[in-house]
Amino acid sequence: MKKLPLQTSGYHYLEKAFKEWLDILGFVPTTVYTLPNQAREFLYFLEQNNIKQIHQLSDQHLQNYYQYLTARSNERHNGALSTNYINHHIWGLEKFFEFLDHKGVNGLPPLNLKFLKTDNLKREILTIAEIKELYKILENQQLITQKQEVLNHQDKVMLTIYYGCGLRRTEGTNVSIDDINFDTRVLHVKKGKNNKQRLIPFNQTTSKILQDWIYEYRPLLVKDKTEHKLFINGQGKPLTGGTLGNRLKRIINQSDNIALKEKTITLHSLRHSIATHLLANGMDLQKVQRFLGHSSLETTQIYTHLIQEENE
């Protein structure tokens, strides 16, 4: 995309201004680099269809571009572009149109490009190297404000709770700071699936991340001292699973790892990943069952099949 030659000076200006706008808004360097390239591909497509001014854009042009995008071949691999790649491209165009609106470009048709459906039944597994990469992305963040630093640390807590402790999405959002015992290094899941409770041990590294959050960073967001939920937003209110999922996607989008970005990763993917990693490292199946809170051993055995598939 970055090598596509734009002939129209106005399009060159829009691409450059879009990049500057993203940078001013504080987007991470990877996003500031990637999204203008996606906008360039869109503008190049318009040029090839004799649309030399953005004001000439019509809904039909958008639909034609959508058809082009979903049919375009993958230059690095044989076959079509992945669903995740196309959806990320559409998100980039949404940001580009938001930028155009901010610049006062009026009269453009609404984008209205539908995101492709992903296979929710497929269990995507992150490798240990990919998990480490997610933590590394957070460690290398350029943090300008104190609030950015606080939310960045909460993202580490999110990885720790959903990967390190293997919690389900709702289990994580229900965790209270009172559920964590640092003396025994045990997390008490009080509202598991089917209202079942379980105790999850955690290591010293997890303890440090959680203690830093609870005693150093979290108090900077808390406005109501009676609010005990572990995850809270910038206004001191409890975070939803949807917001946490979006934070996870934001981290992944900062990666330069194409294979990682093409995976359909959710909070539950982190749980799937720790389960496979524990089994692959030789932990007893019944111990993993208790760790995950599965009622049936057969459910836990699914992960042994995933390991076999990965090794085939």
CB neighbour list of residue 206: distance below 8 Å, 6 or more residues apart: 160, 164, 165, 185
* Residue 208 · residue 157 · CB < 8 Å: no
Q: Is 56 helix (H, G, I), strand (E, B) or coil?
A: helix
Q: Which of 89, 153, 271, 272 is catalytic?
A: 271
CA dihedral 184, 187, 190, 196 (to 10 degrees): -100
* Residue 53 · residue 60 · CB < 8 Å: no
Q: Which of 162, 163, 217, 303 is catalytic?
A: 303
* Residue 65 · residue 45 · CB < 8 Å: yes
Rounded to whole angstroms, how far apart are CA atoms 262 and 255?
11
Q: Which of 61, 191, 193, 229 is catalytic?
A: 193
215 is catalytic: no
Q: Which of 88, 89, 168, 272 is catalytic?
A: 168
193 is catalytic: yes
CA dihedral 153, 155, 156, 160 (to 10 degrees): 140
290 is catalytic: no
Q: Which of 152, 150, 162, 141 is nearest to 222 (CA)?
A: 150
How does strand 198-201 pair with strand 180-181?
unpaired
163 is catalytic: no
Rounded to whole angstroms, how far apart are CA atoms 265 and 252?
8
16 is catalytic: no
What is the Cα Rg of the chain in Å? Answer: 22
Rounded to whole angstroms, how far apart are CA atoms 130 and 288?
21
* Residue 134 · residue 159 · CB < 8 Å: yes
268 is catalytic: yes
Please give the positions annotated as active site.
168, 193, 268, 271, 294, 303
